[in-house]
Structure 1
Amino acid sequence: MRFREQLATLASRLRQELAFYRALHAHPQTPPLAKALLWLALGYLVMPFDLIPDFIPVIGQLDELVIVPLLLHLAMKVTPLAVQQACRSQVSPAASQK
């Protein structure tokens, strides 16, 4: 697979994941704790400062790669599987082509 195709695939997957988290947050049966964790993940991404400053070698750049997925993972752990499946099917590629 060529580099441009890989980037297109990655961008498509990212759009799909963002739509999933948006649908999950909007779902009425999503627990408040999961919604708060999703907001924390988003807030940490757009926050102008970090818990670990970026000028600290390696660790400073990797904190977003650890903290944000951890918050998303915790949000998934407290969200019922039925809600996750409903949101996932809502944003599946087949559903978006209809």
Structure 2
Amino acid sequence: MWNNIKQWAKRVKRSIFILYLASKDKRVPLSAKLFTAFIVAYAFSPIDLIPDFIPVLGYLDDVILLPIGIYFALRMIPKNVLAECELKAAELMKQGKPKNWIAGGIILFLWAAIATWMIYLIYGIIK
């Protein structure tokens, strides 16, 4: 079972690198590019939408939402582009994953906005 989980994780990681390369390809339609770029940015973001320290829900995005997004993004990309990106992905994976601080900043902004809204609600109730 542990080997199956490791293999699944490697496939997910490889798929993210494939999507990363495909999002930069000129032959990919704009709608697929945008969706793929969002999935890649979220995957490479150092900050999760749902923090991992939250029990159960913290890993929900990593285990369920991200693979679903990867699945749909891969289906939107032309087969010939995917084939080329698969070859390049193996080399890119050896270098390590790039960090996407812009996506991390957007997620941090969302959390700050939610925290501000919650403080506003609580302060409004206390007054």
- Which one has a bigger Cα radius of gyration? 2
TM superposition shift of 1:44: 3.1
Asked whether 1:85 is paired with 2:83, we answer yes
Find the counterpart in structure 2 of residue 39 from structure 1. 37
8 Å CA contact retained: 1:40, 1:71: no
CA gap of 1:63–1:87, structure 2 versus 1, over 3 A, is closer
1:40-91, CA deviations, whole angstroms, 9 ceiling, x for partnerless residues? 22343427462x5656531332223211221111111111111111222344
Against the structure 1 CA distance between its residues 61 and 88, is the aligned structure 2 distance closer, same or farther, given a 3 Å change threshold? closer
Kindly tell me: are residues 25 and 65 of structure 1, through their superposed partners in 2, closer, same or farther at Cα, counting changes over 3 Å? same
Structure 2 unaligned runs (5+)?
1-5, 95-127
C-alpha RMSD of the superposition: 3.3
Moved more, 41-50 or 84-93: 41-50
**1:36-75 pair list within 5 angstroms:** 36-45=34-43, 46=45, 48=47, 50=49, 52=50, 56-75=54-73
TM-score normalised to structure 2 length: 0.47
Identity among equivalent positions (%) equals 23
Count of aligned residue pairs for this structure pair: 82
